[in-house]
Structure 1
Amino acid sequence: MKNPYEVLGLKKDATDQEIKLAFKKLAKKYHPDLHPDDKQAEARFKNISAAHEFLKDKDRRRRFDAGEIDASGAEKQQHYYRDYAGPSGGSHASQDGFASNEDLEEFLSRAFGGMAGGMGAGMGGMGGMGGRRSGGRAGMKAQGQDVSYTLRVSFLDAAKGGVNTLQLPDGKTLKVTIPEGAEDRQTLRLKGQGGPGYGGGPAGDAYIELHIEPDAHFVRKDDNIHLEVPVTLKEAVLGAKIQIPTLTGPVSLTVAKGANTGTKMRLKDRGIRNRKTGQKGHLYVTLKVVLPDHEEPELAEFLQNWTPRTAQNPRKEMLS
């Protein structure tokens, strides 16, 4: 892997938040779902994920910044390299730059997490090196890559919470629990649901970005819900009890006599639960008076013969 800072387009002094934001931005841009059959984009996405995984590990990042390890996580064991001795120095090192095969094996063991024994076995004619360190240390372990997905969620599922099924590119499915009061573009982390680990290491994580679909009636503003409710002319003039929808089902609402378009009412604690405080917002209802869909001759005749007690010009302010 290249320098992880360069992969994410960051400087060495980047904060944890800047690293996270850079990863999310690039992951969205190069996600395989957006570039099907594009091997370059897939490779770029893997590099981005690997760089993010590397830098979010505080210990690995510290050691990389200090020059103790390289971008692959391998130790930098420069002190095992030995210069050639001068004419009077006695024996010379081998042309590999190591004093002996034992030194070379020790270097490989440190650099590749104990894999030198296997490598030595595969290098069997090199001065009897194979099998000398057959025990070695355990194989290198690494956490699997994190993966990112987007999930479309209905307004009501986001408001009330629920469980949705995410269809993965390989045909598998993933159960995603939507928390009550989930917000648009909120990212959920599913631990251990990412790529498989290496050498017995833990699996990576899955990051699910929620895309909340708009509702036909409800509009969310912070933790409050706003709802426009149509009422008939008769209901507005004479008053009535009507049924209106809420997040948890229909409820009865009293419309006062003489209600008008724009009249607002509040239903306490009928909004969305705040994830931090646990308190619920409110449902704000705005009335909208609607005329009959079809002709009403009696209503037309009444209005023709009706003289209001108080003259009214609803457009007065507009014309002044």
Structure 2
Amino acid sequence: MSTDPYDILGVKKTASAEELKKAYRKLARESHPDINPDDSEAKARFVKISGAYDLLKDPELRRRYDAGEIDASGQEKPERQFYRDHAGGSDGARYRTTRGFEDFGDPADIFAEMFRQRSRGPSGTAGGFADGSQFAMQGADMRYAMDVAFLDAAQGATRQITLPDGGKLDVKIPAGIQDGQTIRLRGKGGPGSGGAPAGDAYITLSVKPHHVFRREGNDIVMTLPITIDEAVLGAKVKTPTLDGPVNLTVPPGATSGQSLRLKGRGIAAKGKPRGDQRVELKIVAPPEIDDELKTFMETWRAKNAYDPRRGMI
């Protein structure tokens, strides 16, 4: 698979943010480790897909990548290595680097030069170059996938993931995070070398659906079953919300599909006003129609028949 994030997502460089998101979600679903638990290649694809989207969905990182300032992993491109040759040979030659060795064609040349420099260094200089400086490289970034309960994503929580080496990592889930978003944990990736800092950990979240609630923007939407008498006469009906049940007033003459609003009962995402909860009513007939109800409805129909479909045909 190409390392170019555009190739990984299968989009053009001119792709819009919405096109990027659509491509990412399609590919992530196909390669998600939970869907392919025994497919190591699928897991590797998922990591690459997530990394590509993390880079391109950020306008500034995308601009810098397009300008050649950073590589496909989001890291600064290294300064060009250089040699200062002196007359009569290469004694005293030095080179420097930031985080990589892209200018060398063969990795073997990199290590050959490192050990050549070290062999000319003063006695007792360990792990460094001829001038006593240390070779340093930041640790690798690590990427993980994590399933999150709907309420944890809506309200925020702290959960643990198990790392490949058996270790544990606490992940603070901010309130209002959405499906497919990625959390960055600085310094929780692979260890650095030569005193350089550790890499970062990126956790891409998959929010599980809820059996009652669904999310639209920062609003919570749900369908509330009501009885025939509650619809006709009106009622106070206990209704679930993110913060616990509340009594909702159903007005007399309510109908299926009618939407009632609970202000400020939606998602409280950071930096944004809290959304509302929309309650869509659904009239549900009793499980059994007894003789009394049947006789009543027949009598009522004979005197008060009306056609709610009038004008549709």
Whether TM exceeds 0.5 here: the answer is yes
Match of 1:110 in 2: 95
Match of 1:76 in 2: 82
Match of 1:295 in 2: 289
Match of 1:155 in 2: 150
Q: Which runs of 4+ in 1 moved over 6 A?
A: 27-35, 115-118
Cα contact 1:154–1:212 (8 A) shared by 2 = yes
User: For the residues of structure 1 that align with 2:164 and 2:219, how far apart are their CA atoms?
Assistant: 36
| Cα displacement (A) at 1:275 | 2.3
Cα contact 2:224–2:282 (8 A) shared by 1 = yes
User: For the residues of structure 2 that align with 1:291 and 1:112, how far apart are their CA atoms?
Assistant: 74
User: For the residues of structure 1 that align with 2:232 and 2:163, how far apart are their CA atoms?
Assistant: 55
User: For the residues of structure 2 that align with 1:298 and 1:264, how far apart are their CA atoms?
Assistant: 31
Match of 1:286 in 2: 280
Deviations 1:20-61 (A, max 9, x none): x8xx97x979999978666xx69x96xx999445x532xx45
* 2:261 pairs with one of 261, 266, 269: 266
Match of 1:223 in 2: 218
Deviations 1:36-95 (A, max 9, x none): 666xx69x96xx999445x532xx45x3xxxxx1xxxxx222x5176xxxxxxxxxxxxx
User: For the residues of structure 2 that align with 1:217 and 1:76, how far apart are their CA atoms?
Assistant: 63
**Structure 1: runs of 5+ lacking an equivalent:** 1-5, 64-68, 70-74, 83-98, 124-128
Question: CA 1:297–1:222 in structure 2 vs 1: closer, same or farther (change >3 Å)?
Answer: same
Cα contact 1:151–1:211 (8 A) shared by 2 = yes
- Alpha-carbon RMSD across the aligned residues, in angstroms, is 4.0
User: For the residues of structure 2 that align with 1:221 and 1:301, how far apart are their CA atoms?
Assistant: 43
Question: CA 1:298–1:31 in structure 2 vs 1: closer, same or farther (change >3 Å)?
Answer: closer
Match of 1:56 in 2: 75
Aligned residue for 1:295, secondary structure, equals coil
Cα contact 1:231–1:287 (8 A) shared by 2 = yes
User: For the residues of structure 2 that align with 1:239 and 1:305, how far apart are their CA atoms?
Assistant: 22
Alignment pair present for 1:318 and 2:303: no
Which one-letter code corresponds to 1:270 in the other structure? R
Cα contact 2:228–2:285 (8 A) shared by 1 = yes
User: For the residues of structure 1 that align with 2:294 and 2:179, how far apart are their CA atoms?
Assistant: 48
* 2:4 pairs with one of 5, 8, 12: 8
User: For the residues of structure 2 that align with 1:30 and 1:298, how far apart are their CA atoms?
Assistant: 57
Match of 1:240 in 2: 235
TM-score normalised per structure 1? 0.68
| Cα displacement (A) at 1:307 | 3.6
User: For the residues of structure 2 that align with 1:234 and 1:245, how far apart are their CA atoms?
Assistant: 21
Deviations 1:109-146 (A, max 9, x none): 42579x999835975xxxxx564795722211111011
Question: CA 1:245–1:219 in structure 2 vs 1: closer, same or farther (change >3 Å)?
Answer: same
User: For the residues of structure 2 that align with 1:199 and 1:228, how far apart are their CA atoms?
Assistant: 58
**Structure 2: runs of 5+ lacking an equivalent:** 8-12, 56-69, 99-110
Moved more, 307-316 or 198-207: 307-316
Which one-letter code corresponds to 1:226 in the other structure? V
User: For the residues of structure 1 that align with 2:295 and 2:5, how far apart are their CA atoms?
Assistant: 74
User: For the residues of structure 2 that align with 1:266 and 1:310, how far apart are their CA atoms?
Assistant: 31
Match of 1:167 in 2: 162
| Cα displacement (A) at 1:274 | 3.4
TM-score normalised per structure 2? 0.69
Question: CA 1:118–1:215 in structure 2 vs 1: closer, same or farther (change >3 Å)?
Answer: closer
| Cα displacement (A) at 1:155 | 1.1
% identical equivalent positions: 36
User: For the residues of structure 1 that align with 2:33 and 2:275, how far apart are their CA atoms?
Assistant: 39
Structure having the higher Rg: 1
User: For the residues of structure 2 that align with 1:30 and 1:215, how far apart are their CA atoms?
Assistant: 23
Cα contact 2:136–2:192 (8 A) shared by 1 = yes
Aligned residue for 1:305, secondary structure, equals helix
